[in-house]
Amino acid sequence: MDFDLFVIGGGSAGVRCARISAGHGARVGVAEERFWGGTCVNIGCVPKKLLVQAGEYGAWAEDAAGFGWTIEKGPHDWAKLIAAKDREITRLEGIYRKLLANAGATVFDGRASFVDPHTILVNGRTVTAERIVIATGGHPERPEIPGAELGIISDDAFYLKAMPKHVAIVGSGYIAVEFAGIFRALGAEVHLIYRQPLPLRGFDSDLREALAEALAAQGIILHPGCHPEKVEADGDARVLTFGGGQALRTDLVFFATGRKANIRGLGLEKIGVETNPRDAVKVNEHLETTVPHIYAIGDVTDRVNLTPVATAEGHALADTLFGDRPRSVSLHNVPSAVFSTPPIGTVGLTEEQAAALGPVDIYLTRFTPMRHNLTGRARKTTMKLVVDAATQKVLGVHMLGEDAPEIVQGMAIAVVMGATKADFDRTIGIHPTAAEEFVTLRTRTRTTDMAKAAE
Ligand code: NDP
């Protein structure tokens, strides 16, 4: 065999797996056809956060007046922002590539596919490997409606030539909500069109309500309960029909309607690697596919599609295969953030999920952050603890408000360790912060008992 391990895909999962395996002394080959670092670094988490930060400066310039500053807010230069973002992404992509080369992996810039279960075709040549890892990630998916190709997807949003003045975003998952905030903060009229009564299906319902309020407070126009029907072109403009015939003329229709695994052209059917009906590669808890020496990690498995999960899986697999340290990654209590305006941080069970298992004590607080009592900005923070009524274990921590992702990352350690409400209570707060509310929530808001409710 040419390699001990061949990794197909140089995103968060693949790069980590290849790098750590090479560090353990394995002979590693890794192929990437588009950009090193994958979605997260190039057209996902990283550039997205830079765009969110661009929006924040605008709000700070406005808010400064409340603190005595005279700042005249000029126009925003989209082209300058995108150029700065591109420079940073190019720098990061280079670092990812270098990390692999420095670790001793053989790097292939090209598309790889299976010839047989141990042979890969890449850049016109075949290479053989003892073990193979599929880490090809996913791609955004448009809904199947007429004219869907006239709308953009998140991949395109990072390269728009000009900032649209009017945007219609379809969907209300992570990407929809984040980009609604970005475009609004940079000055666009933004419409959010979604099927549910509230955005972010699957999140805690108090947070979802708080988010809908926060989006509206920013001036985002919400269209809940609406399905998209068709998109038509009218010159450069687009006309989106939705919600039973309502038509919206806009500069840009943006579909943020979910992502799907990248398996096309890999030749999986040839070698017996099974996929599920959503095209994701099936894996067991050891990240093995239905072919034992072939593994799959990250978004291509469509379980918890988050970068830190992908990197953790890549690392665990490398340690297991070549580091003499077999281990797996727990997908319980995975914290996550939505970089909405203001952002969300969350870990553990929602009230609905926890109450389905047994009675839960809910501690909930909503307040105006100190800063905004002076700025006058209509922005509220919501913080919530979901506590098992019987054991007093904290099952869920949820927050919408400034710095929520930074705060909840720390809280996640407590939840993973199995902290109880009493542990939170005996922790001294840091004053004055919003975070201290999590350790000073003394009054139970309610107890939710689904079993009782069902009686
Ligand atoms: P999500 O799965 O989070 O949300 C998809 C949205 O599209 C939902 O609102 C869904 O509605 C809607 N939708 C799906 N199909 C249709 C349709 N045919 N017509 C109308 N609406 C539709 O996907 P995203 O694209 O936002 O993000 C993909 C994944 O990427 C996330 O799940 C997350 O794992 C990851 N991600 C994480 C981020 C972070 O950590 N901050 C940031 C960005 C992405 P409904 O609820 O009704 O099904």
Lining residues, ligand 1, CB within 6 Å: 143, 170-176, 178, 194-196, 201, 227-228, 256-259, 305-306, 336-339
Cis peptide before 342 (omega within 30 of 0): yes
Return mean pLDDT, the chain.
Answer: 97
How does DSSP classify residue 290? Answer: S
Residue 431 designated active-site? yes
pLDDT (tens digit per residue) in 108-164? 999 999 999 999 999 999 999 999 999 999 999 999 999 999 999 999 999 999 999
- CATH, domain 3-140+260-322, list 3.10.20.310, 3.10.110.10, 3.50.50.60, 3.40.190.10: 3.50.50.60
- CATH, domain 342-454, list 3.40.50.2020, 3.40.630.30, 3.30.390.30, 1.10.150.120: 3.30.390.30
Which residue out of 24, 286, 332, 431 is catalytically annotated?
Answer: 431
Of 170, 195, 215, 241, best ligand 1 pocket probe by most atoms within 8 Å of the beta carbon: 195
Which tokens belong to 245?
Answer: 């015939």
pLDDT (tens digit per residue) in 367-426? 999 999 999 999 999 999 999 999 999 999 999 999 999 999 999 999 999 999 999 999
All structural domains of the chain with their residue ranges: 3-140+260-322, 148-257, 342-454
Q: How far apart are CA 121 and CA 128, in angstroms?
A: 9
pLDDT (tens digit per residue) in 323-334? 999 999 999 999
Q: What angle do CA 358, 359, 362 make, to 5 degrees?
A: 130
Q: What is the CATH number that goes with domain 148-257?
A: 3.50.50.60
**Does this chain's domain 3-140+260-322 share its CATH topology with 342-454?**
no
Q: How far apart are CA 335 and CA 426, in angstroms?
A: 23
Look at residue 451 in the predicted model and tell me its pLDDT: 72
